[in-house]
Amino acid sequence: MAEVAGTVSPGFERVADAFAANFEEQGDVGAAVCVYIDGAVAVDLWGGLADPQAGRAWEADTPVVVFSVTKGATVICIHMLAERGLLDIDAPVSSLWPEFAAGGKEAIPIRWVLSHRAGVAAVDAPVTFDDILGWDGVVAAIAKQTPYWTPGTRHGYHVRTFGWILGEVIRRCTGLSPGRMFSEEVATPLGLDFWIGLPEAIEPRLGRVIPPDPLEDSAALEVAAATADTLFGKAAKGPGDLFAYDERWNTRPFHAAEMPSSNGVASGRALARMYAATVSDVDGIRLLRPDTIRRATVVQSEGMDEVLGWPTNVGLGFALPPSLGPECPPGSFGHPGAGGSLGFADPGTRLGFGYVTSRMKLGPPAQDRAAALVRALRQCL
């Protein structure tokens, strides 16, 4: 039985029960869940092993790769810049990044990137991992890319390119890399264990990603079998076929790069605290205004996704229910991540939620653990 530690405020015991059950029934190996309500911690739990090979226990502040949960952090930065009048979400990307106009992309507004309508869901040009580590090579390839569909007419999940496009918008707007802006404007003020581009000194604290087994996980088998001949394969495996869900996510290069769609490293506490600060004051810090949240959570894309092949529901960068998660309340916003991690906020209850896990699952079963926690939480409210 995995050892679970932490604190639960009176009335939230069901969340603790669901968290323990995830280890017993859902195969969690190392994980954490945290909930803020009205800017204060209501649930803060962690358990299991951060590194099963070494027998190292999961600690209160253990961070782990959270995959596409990273998108939510990047989107918060975009909306912060919009609030300050430093960018216009309805302006063309090319107004800040002129090279992006190539290939018929001159009129694509930032809004369509946020809502996965830009048509730049994958990159055809050869891209190496050095291009990604150095940033300039991958964004140059994206700038030259021709859209896969007429921009604005359809939507399809921009698995990797979402973060690089918005990250370059942030860089052109501020002069800071997206990871640097997130650190200076969000993570450091709030005291978050959350990085996009991990400092080497943090490596020993990381939870070790346990990749999905394609023999046990049909969705993992589908991703593994996807080819460069399909848009899903190109988007999921990323430029240069570099992004399989395997042990590479436990390597220093995959942690050090700034991939604002994919490689954020965060603790459960950090996710909950960040999202709490979007809907309430957290120690005097509020990241986004209520009117910004209202605009950001208006549905921009819904229905069949051209890349994933199933329906999705998206606002201005944030995933919305039911895409956010099967138990997330109406009005909530955030982003799930490959493997099962989840961060979201609920303006109605002024709630911030964070769940991180090392044991990856793909497809619908990936959401079962977070869904059980959210279901239990809603029963407590």
| Active site members | 68
Q: Do 18 and 368 meet the contact criterion of CB atoms below 8 Å apart?
A: no
Q: Distance of CA 312 to CAs 208, 225, 289, 292, Å? A: 30, 23, 26, 22
Q: Do 123 and 131 meet the contact criterion of CB atoms below 8 Å apart?
A: no
Angle between the N-to-C axes of helices 69-83 and 161-174, in degrees from 0 to 180, rounded to the nearest 10: 30
Helix and strand counts by DSSP (H, E) for the chain: 14, 12
Cα-Cα-Cα-Cα dihedral sign, residues 63, 374, 15, 338: negative
Q: Do 346 and 274 meet the contact criterion of CB atoms below 8 Å apart?
A: no
Query: How many Å apart are CA 250 and CA 73, to the nearest integer?
Result: 21
Angle among Cα 319, 250, 55 to the nearest 5 degrees reads 110
Q: How far is CA 255 from the centre of its chain?
A: 15
- DSSP annotation of 146 reads P
Look-up: residue for tokens 């460069």? 228
Per-residue H/E/C for 240-273 = HHCCCCCHHHHCHHHHHCCCCCCCCEECHHHHHH
Query: How many Å apart are CA 371 and CA 357, to the nearest integer?
Result: 13
